[in-house]
Chains A and B, each alone.
Chain A
């Protein structure tokens, strides 16, 4: 072990190292690249976003997408800017009054980032849906902010139907509705893949089931001849692999199971100590539980492998499905475990011991990767695809982080709008004592208000204040119909309805900014296929600064 290094030697010859000074773009995006890296940024820079309903909420959402650098946005609206629009929307100016709201807000949003393209389309979305439906399919993602309920539903149907054909576009629709302090965000998509959920840890240490080179390495160490410095710098992973291997040898191949055996195991570990203050042993004792935590395929991953779209793949399957299908084959042969991750947590150790341990994991990862690769080749040729159908980078990223993938399956917006599907279950299980009761009440109030709108062509709470009671009563009746009970509505539902009506479906700047932030976070997650997006509805109650999510 070479602990001391020659400083002069380390500081000379540095001119050979090339400079990687970041360019202006990397510097501009530095704080976000630390979240989604260059792969995420590449996806973002290819995203084309359509906004229908350019109100304050929609423009706030766009602001948060223009800033990190999407490729393009279009604002679609035939409307003329009013002074009410200007007073709520930061991306308008008093000068904008009487001009096209799409033109004006595009102008002010474009200022935020010179590399983003912005277009206004001054046209009625409803007529565009019938005259040019394909137009909507040219976007990566569509945001509909406070648009008329019937228009939203037509748009949702269009996108849902388009995604039904194999290989057809599966364009996420994010729908926003707000009224005063209350907001709702919904996402409709058929299926979404997450390639990196960014789990807290991706290590696969395999203490209980070490790969051969790891076990060999751990067993080859001769503690007796080691000097005390070396001994106190053996990484805890090695200590535990060795102790577990020895234990198995003397216990018929099994690991500690009972609590008695577990403390025995720890005692024998302690007995190995040469001095009292060996930090590596303290770490090993603290981590000993990992020895009897069986290495296995994580439950969530098992679920994914069981999915029909993963079990049965074809040339039209998504890359992630093919990769998961291959993984299914991979884990069905010994050691029945996912590939080894090349990553290793930091631990008390000398540099050389740590680096050589790390190299063992890296080498095993390479070996597992090539095993996976040959299985993948078979799968790909089996379905009639070329061997290189999936880019090497994608394959490697997948194998490195198999526990960080996810698939979300959505449902059509129409189902919940019609009061069907999982909404029925939610209604049946409704309990006015739970934390989410108010938010669910608000969801029902918004749904009922949309029906109110269909009849009256105006929103509840939009008449002068003396008429709030009348609107409230009517919305309450609709909600009573939705929940299908004869008895009086619980207090929490009455209150939720009252707050929604009070908002009069107005756009308060703070609510708009909050929802705009939520929508943009979700859009970024959807576009980058990183982090887990909302599935599929969230209600935000800014009276109480709380939220609840629902899967309808």
Chain B
């Protein structure tokens, strides 16, 4: 511990930690109830003991939101905090990920953040995991009371959401509240998901703005915007020139190459506006991010965690949006469960299909669905694979089916099972001919 070298010495720290009155601020709302406080609130020592000595909380992501979440949880009295993140620190994180310094660039976010919080808030234990959330079994997640997610990845969110819903479906005792935050520029949202009880992340998947996709023919033949030239460089030129080398968008040499290619193409077509920043923004799909917005959303997430852990006030039911680019605006509402949600809904999904549809057309219609957000689906019936993009031998065997009529392929059956890398569960679709 670094505190040993300071002028106060360890005795200052010891007396600080022994002084329970240091929590006087937060104790105001933990000792006494407010007008809207729930019946189950006990208050006083028992509530504080649960918060400070028994509760165990998991933070997913140690990035922009994660750093803020760790700070807030530690100060709120959560003393057994676990944090998981697979990323390492980049210089562009430093404008908001305030637990990291220039000297930390390249280090593990989870490890660095945990170390910092423990140094700054003595008495708090933060256990870091440098790795993927998908590498931990359900039993790992079962040990926590609450999960707070500050992720920038949709697929990671879908995975943890499905995992927690599954756990709650299997055993009511395993219901772990999931608090999820996200930001973009001056805007953000925080939500509380009680798996199987409230709407889940998958229920609202259609609220996501679909990523800007430029048609290949525009990129290849009729570029108009600088973005089209950049996409041309990254999607068409890179694989052509570097057959076996994967594009690494974190490698400045790769960005440099793309930038040069895109600039040359733009010059050829008299298109203005290709810059390094735009090149990087397009290929990495960069979302603007600032400390203040992360602070607001992370604070909201941790405020909900505190309320859930102590019952000192009713928790959010179940979605809050914050919009800061035009004055200050919040919108709080209850997002409704979707009965046909593939993760938490009971009803199976139906797809309206033309009698003249080929399997390929059907697959394209699935990919286009805003409520599914899938990219590379594998389709099967009870009799076996209809079409699988991988492994290669099954792909070869099922590829001819693409041109066949769905009606002929299915025969009497109307049920199709869909698996997709983006989809955390398998999806049952009932075909309805129209």
A and B from one assembly? yes
Within 8 A of A (CB), among B300-357: 300, 302-304, 306, 313-314, 316, 320, 324-330, 332
**B270: CB under 8 A from chain A?**
yes
Cβ contacts under 8 Å, A11 to chain B: 237, 241, 261, 264
CB-CB nearest in chain B for A349: B224
Chain A residues near B36 (CB-CB < 8 A)? 495, 499, 543-544
Q: Is there contact, CB below 8 Å, between B25 and A84?
A: yes
- Cα–Cα, bound, A16→B286 (Å): 28
Evaluate contact between A517 and B294: CB separation under 8 angstroms. Answer: yes
Majority secondary structure of chain B interface residues (helix, strand, loop or mixed): helix
Segment touching B, from A208-216, A240-248, A501-509: A501-509
For the complex formed, measure the closest distance between the CB of A405 and the CB atoms of chain B, giving whole angstroms. Answer: 14
Chain B, Cβ-Cβ closest to A498: B35
What residue of chain B has the Cβ atom nearest to residue A109's Cβ? B98
Q: Check B92 against A112 for contact (C-beta < 8 Å).
A: no
Contact with A along B188-223 (1 / 0, CB 8 A): 001000000000000000000000000000000111
Contact B92 A30 (CB under 8 A): yes
Residue A253 interfacial (CB < 8 Å): no
B28 touches A510 (CB 8 A): no
Stretch of A88-96, A333-341, A475-483 on the interface side: A88-96
Query: What does the 1/0 interface line of A364-387 toward B look like (CB < 8 Å)?
Result: 000000000000000000000000
For residue A301, CB closer than 8 A to chain B, the reply is: no
Pair B185/A35 contact, Cβ less than 8 Å: yes
**B428 interface contact, C-beta 8 A:** no
Interface flag for A105 (CB, 8 Å): no
Q: Is the CB of B409 closer than 8 A to any CB of chain A?
A: no
- Residue B13 interfacial (CB < 8 Å): yes
- The answer to whether B121 and A90 touch across the interface, beta carbons within 8 angstroms, is yes
**Known interface pairs A10-B264, A33-B277; A531-B186 also in contact (CB < 8 Å):** yes
Please tell me if the beta carbons of A31 and B290 are within 8 angstroms of each other in the complex. Answer: yes
Contact B286 A531 (CB under 8 A): no
Chain A nearest CB from B110 CB (Å) reads: 19
> From B312, which residue of chain A is reached at the shortest CB distance?
A181
Q: Which stretch, B14-22, B159-167, B382-390, B415-423, touches the partner chain A? A: B14-22
**B405: Cβ under 8 A from any A Cβ:** no
Given contacts A355-B271, A508-B26, contact A95 B8 (CB under 8 A): yes
B75 adjacent to A63 (CB under 8 Å): no
- Judge if A518 is at the interface, Cβ distance under 8 Å: yes
Q: Which A residues are CB-close (under 8 A) to B6?
A: 95
What is the CA–CA distance of A477 and B155 in the complex, to the nearest angstrom? 54
Given the contacts A31-B289, A543-B34, A87 and B23 also touching, CB distance less than 8 Å: yes
Asked if B76 and A509 make an inter-chain contact with CB atoms under 8 angstroms apart, the answer reads: yes
Interface digits, A128-144 against B, CB 8 Å rule (1 contact, 0 not)? 00000000000000000
Q: B299 and A510: CB pair below 8 A?
A: yes
- Whether B260 contacts A14 by the Cβ 8 Å rule is yes
| Chain A window 426-470, contacts with chain B (Cβ cutoff 8 Å), 1 for yes, 0 for no | 000000000000000000000000000000000001000100100
Query: Max chain A CB contacts within 10 Å: which of B3, B23, B25, B281?
Result: B25
Q: Is the CB of B190 within 8 A of A545?
A: yes
Is A17 within 8 A of B263, CB to CB? yes
* A506 near B25: Cβ-Cβ < 8 Å: yes
Least distance between A523 CB and chain B CB atoms (Å): 8
What is the chain B residue whose CB lies nearest that of A35?
B288
| Shortest CB distance A343–B (Å) | 11
Q: Does B361 contact A (CB under 8 A)?
A: no
Q: Note all chain A residues with C-beta closer than 8 A to B25.
A: 84, 87-88, 506-508
| A83 contacts partner chain B, Cβ-Cβ < 8 Å | yes
- Bound together, the chains give a CA A93 to CA B304 distance in angstroms of 26
User: Out of A14, A27, A88, which one reaches B261, CB within 8 Å?
Assistant: A14
A227 in the interface, Cβ–Cβ < 8 Å? no
Interface residues of A in 48-99 (CB under 8 A from B): 56, 60, 63-64, 67-69, 83-84, 86-90, 93-95, 97
Are B29 and A22 within 8 A (Cβ)? no
Stretch in contact with the other chain, from A260-268, A391-399, A534-542? A534-542
Closest residue to B94 on the A side, CB-wise? A28
Q: Are the C-beta atoms of B21 and A84 separated by less than 8 Å?
A: yes
How distant is the Cα of A90 from the Cα of B190 in the complex, in angstroms? Answer: 22
Residues of A within 8 A of B7 (CB): 95
CA distance A21 to B252 in the complex (A): 8
A519: nearest chain-B partner, CB-CB:
B292
Bits for B260-303, please: 1 = Cβ < 8 Å to A, else 0: 11011101111100011100110000111111111111111011
Q: Output the nearest chain A residue to B297 by Cβ-Cβ distance.
A: A517
B3 touches which one: A95, A114, A185 (CB < 8 A)?
A95
How distant is the Cα of A465 from the Cα of B33 in the complex, in angstroms? 10
A513 within 8 A of B: yes
CB neighbours (8 Å) of A33 from chain B are 277
A282-296 vs B, CB cutoff 8 Å, 1 = contact: the mask equals 000000000000000
The total of chain B residues at the interface (CB under 8 A) is: 99
Most chain A beta carbons < 10 A, residue from B241, B277, B316:
B277
Question: B141 near A: Cβ within 8 Å?
Answer: no
Minimum distance in angstroms from A189 CB to a CB of chain B: 14
Residue pair A90, B303 in contact (C-beta under 8 Å): no
B310 CB to closest chain A CB, in angstroms?
11
- Most chain-B CB neighbours within 10 Å: which of A10, A354, A513, A532? A513
Q: Which of A111, A510, A516 contacts B303 (CB 8 A)?
A: A510
Structural contact, B22 and A84, CB atoms closer than 8 A? yes
Is B332 touching A87 in the complex (CB atoms < 8 A)?
no
Distance, CA A518 to CA B290, complexed state (A)? 12
Kindly supply a per-residue 1/0 record for chain A positions 141-165, scoring 1 wherever the CB is within 8 Å of any chain B CB and 0 otherwise. Answer: 0000000000000000000000000
Q: Are B288 and A532 in contact (CB under 8 A)?
A: no
Q: How far is the CA of A295 from the CA of B420 in the complex (A)?
A: 48
Chain B residue at smallest Cβ distance from A532: B326
Q: Which chain B residue lies CB-closest to A60? A: B295
Complex CA gap A507/B29 in Å reads: 10
A90 touches B75 (CB 8 A): yes
Which residues 78-97 of B sit at the A interface, judged by CB distance below 8 A?
91-92, 94-96
- B237, A28: Cβ atoms under 8 Å? no
Given the known inter-chain contacts A17-B260, A94-B13, A111-B101, please indicate yes or no for A513 contacting B71, CB distance below 8 A. Answer: yes
**Assembled-state Cα–Cα distance A311/B71 (Å):** 51
B residues near A28, Cβ cutoff 8 Å = 91-92, 94-95
The reply to whether A68 and B34 contact each other, CB–CB distance below 8 Å, is no
Taking a contact as CB atoms under 8 Å apart, the answer to whether A545 and B300 are in contact is yes
Q: Which 3 pairs across A and B sit closest by C-beta, in order of nearness?
A: A517-B295, A517-B296, A509-B75
Which B residues are within 8 Å of any A CB, using their own CB? Answer: 3, 6-8, 12-13, 16-17, 19, 21-26, 28-29, 31-36, 68, 71-72, 75-76, 91-92, 94-96, 98, 101-102, 120-122, 185-186, 190, 221-225, 237, 240-241, 252, 256, 259-261, 263-265, 267-271, 275-277, 280-281, 286-300, 302-304, 306, 313-314, 316, 320, 324-330, 332
New A-B contacts (17) at CB < 8 Å, excluding given A21-B252, A513-B298, A543-B34:
A7-B237, A19-B260, A21-B276, A27-B91, A31-B289, A347-B224, A351-B269, A502-B34, A507-B25, A509-B71, A510-B299, A511-B303, A521-B296, A542-B303, A545-B332, A546-B332, A549-B327
- 30 A-B pairs within 8 Å (CB atoms) are namely A7-B237, A11-B261, A30-B92, A30-B280, A31-B95, A31-B96, A35-B288, A64-B295, A68-B290, A68-B291, A83-B22, A87-B23, A87-B75, A90-B121, A181-B313, A197-B326, A233-B222, A354-B222, A461-B28, A498-B35, A499-B35, A502-B34, A504-B28, A510-B300, A513-B72, A517-B297, A521-B290, A534-B327, A545-B303, A547-B328
